[in-house]
Chain A
Amino acid sequence: MAAEAGNGRALLAVDGVVKRFGGIQAVDGARFDVAAESVTALIGPNGAGKTTLFNLVTGFERPDRGSVRFDGEEIARQPAYAIARRGMVRTFQLTRALAAMPVLDNMMLAAPDQPGERLSNVLLRPGAVRAREREVREQADELLEVFGLREKSGDYAGTLSGGQRKLLELARALMARPRMLLLDEPMAGINPTLGRRLLDHIQRLRSEEGMTFLFVEHDMEVVMNHSDRVVVMAEGRVIAAGEPHEVRADQAVVDAYLGSAA
């Protein structure tokens, strides 16, 4: 059930973003806000530009025009790693498990502020590196427990099933301690029981840690019951945005996407 909406302040503000690939206008002036501490769903038919928009917002593509502001600062032309470090972390539609690395290494990799990721610290401050590794390992174990992957900790990530990889990717993104998480079809390929646990976890992170979520999803039951706000895209534009019940009643949305399903 949709909890109370976010606190109103826009954490992410997308304005007039345009992206062309050759002759195709993938995103054509999209504009929307994501309120801090909200769970916002991004929906729309295939080819509406949802994934491209994700790429534009997270620095994996550069917009031709327009502005993307995260927490008030312009990030539209920053590289992906810099945006992730600011606290906006994404997952991918097709999972990107680091296959030939153990599950635990996948998790520990994502932790921020590891001095040991600099070669100079590896050589000069091995104590600080080890101490941080211990902390990170504890956090990783806790999260793996939550996501039911604790027993898989030592296995190569490539040996996990599709659904488990999806969970690993989400858990790994959480290891980065983001303020905002962008999930590209988090429910696809996950069994309903696990999906429910995942949704519960998202709600808990939002209410307990004030985390903000933006997710692309095709399952309307999930969208309508688990998001505070819904943004609807079609043909590269945002055609509607509002609370789930408002969007469901919007004629343009029904015509473009929901059709008879709603």
Chain B
Amino acid sequence: MTDLLPLAVSFDAFTDVGFWFGVLVTAGIYTLVALGLQLNVGYTGIVNFGQAGFMAVGGYTMAILVLEAGFSFWLALPLAILATMAFGVLIGLPSLRLRADYFAIVTLAMAEVVRLTAQNAQGLTGGNKGLYCNFEGVNQTCFDEAWKSVAGPILDFVEGFWPEVDPLFPLLLVIWVTIGVAIVGLNYIQRTPWGRVLRAIREDEDAASALGKNTLLYKLQSLAISAMLGALSGFFLALFLTTIQPDDYEPIVTFYAFGVLVLGGLASYGGVAVGAILLWTLLEGMRFVELPITEERTAALRFALVGLVLILLMAFRPQGLFGKKEEMVLGR
């Protein structure tokens, strides 16, 4: 902006509606990813590092069903959710018997196996090019056609009274309605005797078994629900990027979601949503800070800043924004 100031911050971005649409869609997707982690880590005490793998299984299954098997998009969604949940159970069945740290490693490896398989099974997944549209003669089919046929009219309707609305509006709406339903649902089941057994497993699995609870069964259910949320976020990511590529499901996605979890606080579903919005406002907002350094360095600095925020949080509010301090201190 000016040569006199070494550091100039433009806040224009924060008044730009498009900026917020981008942030809220990304934050929404990460909220769904992290809600699954909250159920696993915050309420069941199982450390799942494989959420990106479940997103990939959900997204790829949906796209393959639509593009290769010719299923309708609306049928492909529930089928892909079921497939992802079954996959979660399959992964959990042998590995949830292991100690928590081994389970974490297994899930991380699982996610990488999924990604590398997607990268190499080119006939099915398109390899690194990923999946979007199929061309058969003159006809072109894309996995998000059915979605566009719904999103279009929504956008037209909203444009009637909000002319310069962002094209992301329909996706934003559906994502956050899904989050709302998920948070209400998760909070409900968490307050039931079922949720009480999960918390008991988090506290002490042996004590729960000694009281007659089949802990493996509950951990599997927790993982399956988390896989379902992963599949949902996988769909939304695919619709947002309009493509499904292996690179979008690297382990870093899961780690961002853990960042969201730490920010929002353990054992709070609402906190996850707030944490996700904060993290992505911070990450995206930093793009607009102008510094007398190269762009690559600014990009790297964004992550340094996020790291600093997390460190400060650990120092001054270790339970996160909405976590319960007592549960954190007593749990250990």
* Shortest CB distance A25–B (Å): 24
Interface string of A132-168 (1 = CB under 8 A from B): 1100000000000000000000001111000000000
Residues of B within 8 A of A79 (CB): 209, 214
| Interfacial chain A residues near B207, Cβ < 8 Å | 92, 96, 98
Tell me if A179 is interfacial: C-beta within 8 Å of chain B: no
Residues of A within 8 A of B196 (CB): 101, 105, 108-109
CB–CB B194/A98 < 8 A: no
Which of A82-90, A197-205, A240-248 contacts the other chain? A82-90
Asked if B209 contacts A81 (CB within 8 A), the reply is yes
Q: Is the CB of A119 within 8 A of B189?
A: yes
Contact A100 B327 (CB under 8 A): yes
Q: Which residues of A contact B156 (CB under 8 A)?
A: none
Contact between B199 and A118 (Cβ–Cβ < 8 Å)?
A: no
A85 touches B212 (CB 8 A): yes
Q: Quote the shortest CB–CB distance from B141 to chain A (angstroms).
A: 37
Complex Cα distance, B327 from A98, in Å, reads 10
Say how far A91's CB is from chain B's closest CB, in angstroms: 8
Asked whether A119 and B221 contact (CB < 8 A) given A98-B200, A100-B331, the answer is yes
B204 CB contacts on chain A under 8 angstroms: 96, 98
User: Is the pair A112, B212 in contact by a Cβ cutoff of 8 Å?
Assistant: yes
Closest to A178 in B: B212
- The verdict on A109 contacting B330 (CB below 8 Å), with A116-B192, A122-B192 known, is no
A249 within 8 A of B: no
Cross-chain contact of A84 among B189, B211, B329 (Cβ < 8 A) = B211
| Known contacts A60-B206, A101-B203, A116-B192; A156 and B330 CB within 8 A of each other | yes
Most A-side CB within 10 Å, residue of B207, B214, B328: B207
A117–B202 Cα gap in the complex (Å)? 16
Q: Check if B200 sits within 8 Å of A109, measured CB to CB.
A: yes
* A112 / chain B contacts, CB cutoff of 8 Å: 212
Are A101 and B199 in contact, CB atoms less than 8 angstroms apart? Answer: yes
Bound CA span A90–B207, Å: 9
In the assembled complex, the Cα of A82 lies from the Cα of B215 at a distance in Å of: 11
Q: A100: which of B189, B194, B210, B330 is its contact (CB, 8 Å)?
A: B330
Q: Check B209 against A117 for contact (C-beta < 8 Å).
A: no
Q: Does B326 contact A (CB under 8 A)?
A: yes
Residue of B whose beta carbon sits closest to that of A132: B193
A101 CB → nearest B CB, Å = 6
Nearest-neighbor residue (CB-CB) of A116 within chain B? B193
Q: Does B213 contact A (CB under 8 A)?
A: yes
> Which of chain B's residues have a CB closer than 8 A to the CB of A119?
189, 194, 221
Contact B326 A96 (CB under 8 A): no
In the assembled complex, B197 has its CB within 8 A of some CB on chain A = yes
What are the residues of chain B within 8 A of A114 when measuring CB–CB? Answer: 193
B contact patch SS: helix
Cβ of A117 and Cβ of B203 under 8 Å apart? no
Instruction: Please indicate which of the listed interface residues A96, A98, A122 has the most CB atoms of chain B within 10 Å of its own CB.
Output: A98
In the assembled complex, the Cα of A201 lies from the Cα of B213 at a distance in Å of: 26
Q: How far is the CB of B41 from chain A (nearest CB, A)?
A: 14
Establish whether residues A81 and B194, one from each chain, have CB atoms under 8 Å apart when the complex forms. no
Residue of chain A at shortest CB distance from B204 = A96
Give the residues from 67 to 89 in chain A that come closer than 8 angstroms, CB to CB, to chain B: 79-82, 84-85, 89
Nearest B residue to A175 by beta-carbon distance? B211
**Given the interface contacts A84-B209, A92-B206, A96-B210, does A117 sit within 8 Å of B326 by beta carbon?**
no
By a CB distance below 8 angstroms, the chain A residues around B327 are 100, 156
Q: In the complex, how many angstroms separate the beta carbon of B36 from the nearest chain A beta carbon?
A: 16
A77 to chain B, nearest CB (A): 15
- For residues 152 through 200 of chain B, which have their beta carbon under 8 Å from a beta carbon of chain A? 189, 192-194, 196-197, 199-200
A92 contact set on B, CB distance < 8 A:
206-207, 210
Q: Does A98 lie within 8 Å of B192, measured CB to CB?
A: no
Whether A176 and B326, one on each chain, are in contact in the complex, defined by CB atoms closer than 8 angstroms, is: no
CA distance A41 to B11 in the complex (A): 75
Chain B residues with CB below 8 A from A100, complex form: 199, 202-203, 326-328, 330-331
Which chain B positions have C-beta within 8 A of A101? 196, 199-200, 203
B328: which A residues are within 8 A, CB to CB? 100
Alpha-carbon gap, A79 to B200, bound state (A):
18
Q: Is the CB of A98 within 8 A of B203?
A: yes
Chain B nearest CB, measured from A117 CB (Å): 5
* B199 A105 Cβ-Cβ under 8 A: yes
Give the most central of A85, A133, A158, A173: most B CB within 10 Å: A158
Residue of A nearest to B215 (CB): A81
Nearest-neighbour CB distance to chain B for A105, whole angstroms, equals: 6
Q: Report chain B residues within 8 Å CB of A173.
A: 210-211
How far does the Cβ of B11 sit from chain A's closest Cβ, in whole Å?
Answer: 41
Closest to B328 in A: A100
Please give me the 8 A-B residue pairs with the lowest Cβ-Cβ distance, nearest first: A158-B330, A116-B193, A84-B212, A96-B207, A98-B203, A100-B327, A80-B209, A99-B330
Residues on B facing A (Cβ under 8 Å): 189, 192-194, 196-197, 199-200, 202-204, 206-215, 221, 326-331
Q: What are 11 A-B contacts with C-beta separation under 8 Å?
A: A81-B215, A84-B211, A85-B212, A91-B210, A96-B207, A99-B331, A101-B200, A108-B193, A109-B211, A116-B194, A176-B212
Task: Kindly list 16 other residue pairs between chains A and B, CB separation below 8 angstroms, not including A100-B203, A117-B197.
Answer: A60-B210, A79-B209, A81-B209, A91-B210, A92-B207, A98-B199, A100-B327, A101-B196, A108-B193, A109-B196, A109-B197, A109-B200, A109-B213, A116-B193, A116-B194, A133-B193
